[in-house]
Structure 1
Amino acid sequence: MDSRIGYDDDFYAWTQEQARLLREAARERLNTPIDWEHVAEEIEDMGRNDRRAINSHLARVIEHLLKLELSPASDPRSGWRKSVREQRAAAVDALADSPSLKSHMDLPFAFRRGRGFATDGLGQDRIDERELPVECPYALEQILDEDWWPTNRHGLE
């Protein structure tokens, strides 16, 4: 099998290519006791897990960016900033390992999920869900930029 995508160059793309190559080998009906289809499926699932994880990282960043922007509370802010830093780093690391994941990032999905998480947390601050934006107010570049932070509507840092 001649793989064009290196394991260390783009893990997600490698998993998808290896699954395809395994299925091709299975169609050739090689006389081996390997469960080709399930092996291919497991490798493919490893890549899918990375795809789900990066969208989860985005959702958490969005959740805490919204809280930092909208909440009048001062106490939990450092925890929210820490979470944003950790989730940004995880997303950036995942993209470094698998650059092709960038085309699988689903910002509208991540925003809906992050908005839902933020709504739950901001309800304690008496922020009504209607005060949250309906569409993502942040560009993907801002979400991933370790130096970018939204301005708090209440003048808090």
Structure 2
Amino acid sequence: MKNALNNQLQDLYQTDSYLWLQKTVELLKAEDFRHLDLDGLIEELESWGRSQFNQARIRLRQIIIHLLLWEYWEQEYERNCRHWQSEIIAFRDDLIHELTASLQNKLILQLDSIYHVAVSFVIKKTGLSKSIFPANCPYNFEQLLDDNWYPNHQLS
């Protein structure tokens, strides 16, 4: 019986992940751990963890992109500064609400890498020279999340 139910769940995982999830939750609530598709459950939990980190990384990258636009894109500053600020507010709020201590630590470790992707995006979007941007992220993590902090606008 155990093997047949496990095989059914494993097959279901491949064909209908939503139904697989519902059946897995039922088994967990019933504390029927012997019939769980452990391989599928482990795969889903790992995927969920990667997804959480990726969403946090995307939000942090968007904050950095908009701070860079705010600080360096003089040509569009007057027309877009309020839009950039509103985007920064929204991304900060989203990130703060999903941030855990371990996600924060991982983001801090990858801050310069995330910054370099943001710089590449801003360069492509604006045509600005790479040479105007600092080699490493000029913003610390606390500044990136602080609702009241914005860099000075760089005027030519």
Q: Same fold (TM over 0.5)?
A: yes
Give structure 1 stretches of 5+ with no counterpart: 1-29
Identical pairs, percent = 25
What's 1:70 paired with? Answer: 72
What's 1:120 paired with? Answer: 124
Between 1 and 2, higher relative CO (CA 8 Å, sep ≥ 6) is seen in 1
More helix by share: 2
Larger Rg: 2
AA matched with 2:106 = H
Rounded Cα–Cα distance in structure 2 between residues aligned with 1:40 and 1:31:
13
Rounded Cα–Cα distance in structure 2 between residues aligned with 1:146 and 1:52:
22
* Change over 3 Å in CA distance of 1:66–1:38 after alignment to 2: same
Give structure 2 stretches of 5+ with no counterpart: 1-31
Rounded Cα–Cα distance in structure 2 between residues aligned with 1:134 and 1:71:
17
1:61, 1:114 within 8 Å by CA — same for their partners in 2? Answer: no
Q: State TM-score, norm by structure 2.
A: 0.71
* Change over 3 Å in CA distance of 1:34–1:59 after alignment to 2: same
AA matched with 1:146 = D
Instruction: Give the 5 Å matches for 1:20-31.
Output: none
Superposition misfits of 4+ residues, deviation over 4 angstroms: none
Cα-to-partner distance string for 1:69-125 (whole Å, 9 max, x where unaligned): 111121121111111111111111111xx33211211211210111112112221xx
AA matched with 2:154 = R
Secondary structure of the residue aligned to 2:137 is coil
Secondary structure of the residue aligned to 1:151 is coil
What's 1:89 paired with? Answer: 93
